Each structure stands twice: as structure tokens, then as C-alpha cells.
Amino acid sequence: MTHARRHGGFRVCLIHGKNLPMSAIRHALSTKREDDFAAWYQEVIASADMAEESGVRGCMVIKPWGYGIWERMQRLLDDRIKAAGVQNAYFPLFIPLKNFEREAEHVDGFAKEMAVVTHHRLIADGEGGLIPDPEAKLEEPLVVRPTSETIIGDAMSRWIQSWRDLPLRLNQWANVVRWEMRTRMFLRTSEFLWQEGHSAHASAQEAKDETMMALEMYRAFAEEDVALPVVAGEKPENERFPGAVETWSIEAMMQDGKALQAGTSHYLGTNFAHAANIKYQNREGRETLAHTVSWGVSTRMVGGLIMTHGDDDGLRVPPALAPFQVVILPMLREKPEDEALLEYCEGLRAAIAGQSALGETVRVLLDTRPGKAAAKRWDWVRKGAPIIIEVGGRDMEGGVVSLLRRDRLWNMDTGKPAFQNPDRDLCAQSVPTILADMQNGLLTQARERRDANIRRDVTDMDALAAHFSRDRKYPGWVEVQWAKPTGDALEKVVEQLKELRLTLRNVPMHAPPADGTCIFTGEQAVERVFVARAY
């Protein structure tokens, strides 16, 4: 009985958030989350004008609104990276094939998904087409980078001679290519945009500290900027980055209960230093291998934002990331009185632009494109602009405006948009408060939803299988206790989970110590680990 009730509770909690009178409301999207989450996700992207298919396998065109959100992420994360003392640099797109041959695990991990450049010229095929010129075959093929450990390692080996050269801490913003079997916009594309941090250190401890520094930076970025509650923890051995000694991640719960790995930080030990010959003379004059670290966050974070904050009316962009936080829509009539209205709106725009919210100048757009305000309103609702302000002649006469908060879109009594009508000047002053409240509210809402959908009382495999049975639409996550098996024993566990379409996510950092038995082996448990379906 508890089960049935919980199940019902989960569905309401995961998708609706609140019990709205759904039937009375005409939503801005045609697909609801609870009806078809995957179709809903794609409709949000299309109707918010974020991205579209390109015709090139697995590659997308990121449109201004989607790219604007990514640029905001870049800005805020880059500020954090620089504040941590890491410097930006740029390394080549092409990596010599032989670089990958030096680290066995690394090549195993990536060989199956690499794009390779083999020719440097095209010639006519005699039938109106072009083919790679057989005469222009490269001596050594070039790999389009799937990640840059090996080429940055080359540079590090040249730049590091002495212990005085350490630590060397770099970051690059770049695109990478991984020839994935199955792609989904933003979540897994053949080409994606990211930042990759790379550092070399004198000691294992210092390198591990850097690994944790990056992980904590990601946690703060996710929660404070993206309003994405995450669990930071260590990945189990089988989920490690190829060639890493330790892989840490931040994991977020999407509204369908699946887990999304939203950022990773790897302690690479001396594996890559050995492969790339990153050595230095220590204070005693002895040649020593450096310890290296890498960490990355990608455009996948945009997908996580959509699946965390989107609703049945489209996207909701957290104010910190919104390219425009406030959009003003004058109700233009193509008549002489438009001029006075525009002047009134311009006054509002200037007043809002003079405000500062979340530590930055408020980003406000006065949308004067021709068209009806009501039609444009729904465009901005679907795009997820935090505050939409409509202004008509009657507002102007009364010295007020019509303000709509994207996080409180509907008046649940009337089933209509929940407009407020503040005084124009008070409205401008209240914008920073509203934006801060919304940023905070989105995080709180997502965190409560996540916490309500984590179970910690599952102690045997039958109960686990029941919890994740096929008729459970959105089962969320389960935190289990385990004996941390390794090698073949771990493989067996992974196989068991695979049959349930489940994966091990991570071992949360701040969990209470284990006090039970291992759900997989029955031995004394040593720690807790999250089990979930994953993207």
C-alpha cells in the first residue's frame, strides 16, 4: 500500500510539482511531460528556438537562444575557473594518431568513437562529385580530438622541466567529437562544446586536491548558477574515465527520475604523465613523473537545465543564465499613440537596466518587433524568459505595467496567465528581488523533487527489481549500501544491474557511514552508492 501511494506521489511530485487544474489551462506546448517525456524534451528545444538538427549525423545547430544560455554558462564557469587561478589556453583540434597509442586504457575507451582525418585534398571523381585524392593521403592519420589529455600532455612534457614549473594549471574552451551510436540534442551529440581543465602536480596529494577543487567548483556552479541540485561523489571503478585512477562526478536528477552526469573530474595518477613523458627534476635533482588531473563540463548541461526546469509551457531559464532576464512587450497598434507607449516602455527599460541582480546588471530586452503582444508573449514563455512585462495604453494611463513571472505563470483559479499590475517605477525596483527569488525557487523546487524521489530503504535485490519494475514510470534513484566489490565481482554486479536497465551512479561524498550489508553480496557494507537509470 505504501508502494502504491508512493508511486502516485512520485508522479505528481516529479512532473507536476503542484496539482494544477490541468484541464482548464491551455498550455503553450502540445506535448506534456507526463505523456511522453522524450517528445516533450524535443518540443521544448524546437519551440524555444534553442537548436535544430543540422543534417550532419549527430550534430546540431545551436540557435541564438540556446547558444546564449551556453554563453552565460561559459561566462559564469569561466569566472570561477579564473578565480581558482587556472589559465585559459588553446590546443589543436587534430591529434596525431600515435598519441592515442601510448595509453592503452585511454585508446580502448575512445577507439570505437573517433573521427579520423586521412586526406588533405579532394579531386573530381569525373562524375560531377568530389572524392579524397588518393595521392593526398596523410602519412599519419589525424584524430579529431575526443578529449585533449594526450595533446596537452605533449605540451606539458615540453613546458615542465623543474619542480618550479609545477603546478601547471590550464583550461581550454573547445569543441570535441565522439562518434556516438545514438545521439540526443544537447545530451549526447557527435560534436559538443565544453571546457576541459588539465593540470600537472608534483605530488599525488596535490593532484587529488585539485581534483576535488574542480568537483566543488562544478557543484557550486551547478547549484548556484544553473539551479541544478547535484550529488557530488566518486564514480565506481567500472565508470571511470579511460586511463583515470579516480573519477568523480556531479549527478543530477531529471524530471523523469533519470540521472544525468553533469560534470566530471579525474585524478589521472601518473598514467598520462608516463605516456606523454611529463617529468620534472625535484628538489633533490631526481627525475620524477608528474601527477595529472582533468575535468570537464559540456553543453550537456543545457540538456540538464531543460529536463530539470522545463514545464508544460516550455523552458524556464534560471535568471542567472537567461540571456534576457526581462522582456518588455509593448502592445503596439500601428497607430500614432504607439509613440507615447514606446516612450513609456523605454523609460521602463532604462529603469530596469539600471538595476543590478544576482551581482550583475539586469539584462532587459524591449521587444519592438512588429506583431501582437500576446503572440510574442507565448514565444517568450516557451523560451523561458524569467519576467515578461506587457504594457498597453491602459497600463500607461494608470502608470502601471502587466508583469508575468515565468515560475508562477498560471492563476490557478481562472486558468489564465497570472499577471500582476505593479506601478511602473516600483516594478523596476522589484525586478532584482523577483529574479533572486526565482533563482532560489527553481533550485529549491528541483532539490525537493530530487529528495522526494530518493529511496534509502532498499536492502535486497528483489526489492530493488520491484522498485524499478517496468510499470513504474518514474522510479527515481535508490541509494544502496555495498561492499565496494572490484574486478570480476564488480563486473557481476554491473551485469545484474544491466538486466534491470540500471547503472551505478556515484558514491556520495557526504553520506553517513555504511551500517548494513551489501545489497549485492550480503557482505558487510563499506559505503553507499546511488543506483538509477541514466542518460
Q: Can you give the binding site for RNA, defined by CB under 7 A?
A: 26-28, 38, 42, 53, 55-59, 109, 112-113, 146-147, 176, 178, 180-185, 188, 194, 196, 235, 239-242, 247, 249, 261, 264, 296, 298, 331, 333, 335, 371-375, 377-378, 390, 392-397, 402, 417, 419, 421, 498, 501, 503, 534
Cα 516 from Cα 290, distance rounded (Å): 39
Whole-angstrom distance, CA of residue 130 vs CA of residue 349:
54
Q: Tell me how far, at minimum, the Cβ of 465 lies from RNA, in Å.
A: 15
**Which are the contacts of 254, defined by CB distance < 8 A and separation ≥ 6?**
260, 304, 307, 308, 535
Q: Are 227 and 439 in contact (CB under 8 A)?
A: yes
Q: Which one, 58 or 476, has the nearer CB to RNA? A: 58
Supply the minimum distance, in Å, between the C-beta of residue 468 and RNA. 11
3-state secondary structure of 404: strand
Burial class (CB in 10 A: 0-12, 13-18, 19+), 302: buried
Give 38 or 104: the residue with its C-beta nearer to RNA: 38
Spatial distance between the Cα atoms of 92 and 177, rounded to a whole number of angstroms: 13
In contact, 289 and 120? CB cutoff 8 Å: no
> What minimum distance in Å lies between the beta carbon of 513 and RNA?
26
**Closer Cβ to RNA, 396 or 493, answer by number:** 396
CB of 366 to RNA, least distance (A): 16
Distance of closest approach, residue 327 Cβ to RNA, in angstroms: 14
In whole angstroms, how close is the CB of 230 to RNA at the nearest point?
14
Nearer to RNA by C-beta: 140 or 334?
Answer: 334
CB–CB of 519/482 below 8 Å? yes
Q: Which residue has the cell 535486497?
A: 460
Nearest-approach distance from CB 358 to RNA, in angstroms: 28
Q: Which three cell numbers stand for residue 76?
A: 559564469
In this complex, which beta carbon is closest to RNA, that of residue 98 or of residue 112? 112
d(CA 351, CA 74): 28
Q: How far is the CB of 464 from RNA (least distance, A)?
A: 16
Least distance from C-beta 28 to RNA, angstroms? 4
Select 1 or 181, whichever has its Cβ closest to RNA. Answer: 181
Between 87 and 421, CB nearer to RNA? 421
Q: Extract long-range pairs of 104-107: CB within 8 Å, 24+ residues apart.
A: 105/242, 105/243, 105/271, 106/149, 106/150, 106/242, 106/243, 106/271, 106/272, 106/275, 107/242
- Give the residue among 496, 487, 488 at the shortest CA–CA distance from 520: 496
Q: In the complex with RNA, which residue's Cβ is closer, 385 or 396?
A: 396
H helices of 17-63, in order, are: 37-47
Q: Which is nearer to RNA, 393 or 432 (CB)?
A: 393
Length of the chain: 535
Distance from C-alpha of 136 to C-alpha of 159, rounded to nearest angstrom: 33
